[in-house]
A and B are shown apart, each in its own frame.
Chain A
């Protein structure tokens, strides 16, 4: 991993602070994501994982601290600005519209329009092209669904997750962030989602993954970012630490050995 450490992080944060009233959700959190890696965010309930990724994806604005994209400071005021910068997020509740079909969900908010006069003037959508491209994105990640015209509510939990991941992967030019993507899934469907995550990495997009499932995390992640009480307390790898040691870091039973190498 020494080659990784030498590179500039794709996404980096220094000293993020976020207060909710008297609660300090982030207390000077640092963050580094390197090109081409799967980074797992682990920590106890309330450690600040979701708050951290919300800051990184523009869903909240931190009180203090800095965020850098490819070394350049950025200030996202809303999720749209983060998305425009190539950062796509799969939210825990997936944020899909169940009554709309797969193609419409994939292109929601960035519908393709016909290139002729009625597309430009009347903003008429190019349905055939969206169906075609949706099919390509879904096939790209080897997601198994029948028709792009199927409404999302007719899909199984794993398939829905697949659609949400496909949407993120299709438009993420820099980073995909996923908040507990397997929490509600069975064994087989969790396996499908993990394969999807590897597929996204294989296409060159780094992935930030929040999960409480230690075996899963150790199976898939290149590095683990351990959070406790609103801070990063350690950065470890599945090779450098055991699951027991990782849990000890999360709970504070073991202290971190200071800032660790990647």
Chain B
């Protein structure tokens, strides 16, 4: 008793430490976002212009949508290495069908998204039915999707896309800034996912399954069904990301999205979601996406060579994982 009282006085009881770790993981990303913005505003004249901010929102939309799916999977203590490659394959399917095969653009879009959904279901079945580790499963599907992308595209970029396929690249003016529908879609999907994860039975089961799968199963949560739904939804989101990507670039490019795998994982962990599952928020992921985007953009404005952007992204992701790991260890 006495020992506990004294601990509390010095703010060292486990409850306070955990509360502090929570605060760091929620506020940390916001502070990092603020600091990065201030830094780049001071160091470059162009950072804080409406054109540049508009550019950032366009640049982050694709990774923003991918990272929503990635968040779902990481919340279940999994990881998806295939997301960028699956998205790239989705773009090739929808553009090639619409242009080369003259399929109705809306049907082409649906089929492209459907292929991504199929990959999500495949990942989910391999993880739940065969109980293979997500890391290995998605490493496999990463390579399959990558190969299919290059086989079906013949390494050719597909241009002259019909209007519906590039719809999400269209812009409108808002408060003096140019904003694409793709960015709006990314934010809307983030908010919908946040609602589902925090307010619905299924969303709470995602957290429980990620946090303690055995406890969830014994409590009557159908954990395999939850996992399958998570991977399928993630696949669907990759398909939507493919549509946003095609809108942004205006072409079906087999080389696109190669850094998107790591970028989406970086956005999720920088946004404060734990790789150990069950903790985190898709709103944090939105902040993480912005951080990654602002670093990329700011470094570019500073004239830093692109290869250093990779270096900095690497440091960022390790830093975020280290913070997560250390705060977990403190609780153990």
Check: B140 CB closer than 8 A to any chain A CB: no
- What CA separation (Å) do A136 and B324 show in the bound complex? 35
Q: Is the CB of B14 within 8 A of A109?
A: no
Q: With a CB–CB cut-off of 8 A, which chain B residues contact A150?
A: 15
- What CA separation (Å) do A93 and B219 show in the bound complex? 13
Q: Kindly count the residue-residue contacts between A and B in the assembled complex, taking CB atoms under 8 Å apart.
A: 76
- Chain A contacts with B in 84-118, Cβ cutoff 8 A: 89, 91, 93-100, 104, 108-111, 113
- Interface 1/0s, chain B 22-46, versus A by CB < 8 A? 0000000000000000000000000
- What CA separation (Å) do A97 and B200 show in the bound complex? 17
- What CA separation (Å) do A123 and B15 show in the bound complex? 32
- What CA separation (Å) do A156 and B218 show in the bound complex? 22
- What CA separation (Å) do A99 and B22 show in the bound complex? 10
- Interface 1/0s, chain B 277-291, versus A by CB < 8 A? 011000000000000
Check: B2 CB closer than 8 A to any chain A CB: no
Check: B240 CB closer than 8 A to any chain A CB: no
- Chain A contacts with B in 26-75, Cβ cutoff 8 A: 59
Check: B173 CB closer than 8 A to any chain A CB: no
Q: With a CB–CB cut-off of 8 A, which chain A residues contact B220?
A: 79-80, 83, 108-110
Check: B321 CB closer than 8 A to any chain A CB: no
Check: B225 CB closer than 8 A to any chain A CB: no
Q: Is the CB of B199 within 8 A of A124?
A: yes
- Looking at A104, A111, A113, A188, which has the most chain B CB atoms within 10 Å of its CB? A111
Within the complex, the shortest CB–CB distance from B208 to chain A, in Å, comes to 5
- What CA separation (Å) do A127 and B204 show in the bound complex? 11
- What CA separation (Å) do A123 and B19 show in the bound complex? 29
Check: A242 CB closer than 8 A to any chain B CB: no
- Chain B contacts with A in 249-288, Cβ cutoff 8 A: 278-279
Q: Which residue of B lies closest to A106 (CB)?
A: B219
Within the complex, the shortest CB–CB distance from B11 to chain A, in Å, comes to 13
- What CA separation (Å) do A113 and B216 show in the bound complex? 18
Partner of A109, one of B200, B219, B279, B331: B219
- Given known contacts A99-B278, A153-B331, A108 and B201 CB-to-CB distance under 8 angstroms: no
Q: Which residue of B lies closest to A146 (CB)?
A: B15
Q: Is the CB of B279 within 8 A of A91?
A: no
Check: B110 CB closer than 8 A to any chain A CB: no
- Given known contacts A96-B215, A108-B221, A109-B220, A124 and B200 CB-to-CB distance under 8 angstroms: yes
User: Residues of B at under 8 Å CB distance from A?
Assistant: 1, 4, 14-15, 18-19, 199-202, 204, 207-208, 211-212, 214-216, 218-221, 278-279, 331
